[in-house]
Structure 1
Amino acid sequence: MSTEVIQERRTAAAEGDVVVFLIGMRINKLRRLRSWVPVFRAMPRMLRELSQDKESGLLHYRLVLGGPRLFTVIQYWESKEKLLAYAMDAGKEHRPAWTAYNRSARNAGGAVGIWHETYLVPEGRYENVYVNMPEFGLGAAYGTQPVGRRGDRAADRLKVA
């Protein structure tokens, strides 16, 4: 991912539907290391696996720290089918990590929480602009183009009837 600042108004070059997946963990009991450290370590393994497999469907991700106990990963996927296929594949990192979490969570007394949200955004229902920014977010997932190609105003880029 480039960190070069692009000094013009840009918009993501995405076409069609967009899949956004948010996933995170919250450490509820810091002293219960055995409960949350395995969860914390699982995500980098999954992201590494997905990043190395160009056919996985993961287009881009960004890690976000939401305070000392909250960690979030924003992911952009090629399709919901590829996201769900990864989640269900017993031969990939996610399935064993999910099984281990469920097993340990029963006895962990709420020491660590996990969450995820999936958004299936139809074409014309997403809008973005980047000014004096490196490629970021949806623009990092799909690349960017000059704003004028999709419309100069946010209302022009949103094709809402």
Structure 2
Amino acid sequence: MSGKPIPGRMTADAEGDVVVFLIGMRINSWWAVRSWVPVFTAMPRMIRELSRDRGVGMLGTRFVMGFPRHVGVIQYWESKEKLLAYASDRNGEHRPAWAAYNRRVRAGRDKVGFWHETYVVPAGSYENVYANMPAHGLGEAVGVVPVGRRGERAADRLAA
């Protein structure tokens, strides 16, 4: 988290569907540094690329650690179409990183694992509250507004 706490109760200023993309890796063998370091270093390159051009569709991101073997990223996207377009862009960082990972797997180097999950959350099916916190999660990605603007209770925000 960055920034100063925002006093009071806030909620994300999101409208419409929200796309949440979770992606990560698992180090299966610490000693096989040449197998997992390329996977580990590929994600920051992609995040930098995505952060330079907001038109690509990534709204925000947060790295998460699951010690001792897991590293992951939570991403918020404008739409599934923009996420899929980035994944298949032949000129971006993703395609070469994915191809390199697949070459390692075919070569029998199971020293690193990879996973991702994509969730398209329809409008009215998500809610959040941040109390005395800096902007966080979806709120950090899209901005925050006072809870009262979207409903005082979770049930109110989910119905909106």
Once the two structures are superposed, residues 105-139 of structure 1 have per-residue CA deviations (whole angstroms, 9 ceiling, x without a partner) of 12244210000000000000001000010000010
In structure 2, the residue matched to 1:57 is: 57
> Which letter does structure 2 place at the counterpart of 1:72?
G
Structure 1 runs of 4+ aligned residues shifted over 3 Å read: none
| Higher fraction of helix | 2
In structure 2, the residue matched to 1:100 is: 100
- Identity percentage of aligned residues: 67
In structure 2, the residue matched to 1:20 is: 20
User: TM-score normalised to the size of structure 1?
Assistant: 0.96
Shift of 1:41: 0.8
Mapped to 2, the partners of 1:75 and 1:19 lie a distance apart of 8
Contact persistence 2:35–2:109 (CA under 8 A): no
Query: Secondary structure of the equivalent of 1:158?
Result: helix
Mapped to 2, the partners of 1:61 and 1:131 lie a distance apart of 20
Shift of 1:22: 0.2
Gaps of 5+ in 1: none
Equivalent pairs, count = 160
> Which letter does structure 2 place at the counterpart of 1:125?
S
Contact persistence 2:51–2:58 (CA under 8 A): yes
Shift of 1:2: 4.8
Gaps of 5+ in 2: none
In structure 2, the residue matched to 1:82 is: 82
Mapped to 2, the partners of 1:111 and 1:92 lie a distance apart of 26
Superposed CA RMSD in Å reads 1.2
In structure 2, the residue matched to 1:39 is: 39
In structure 1, the residue matched to 2:117 is: 117
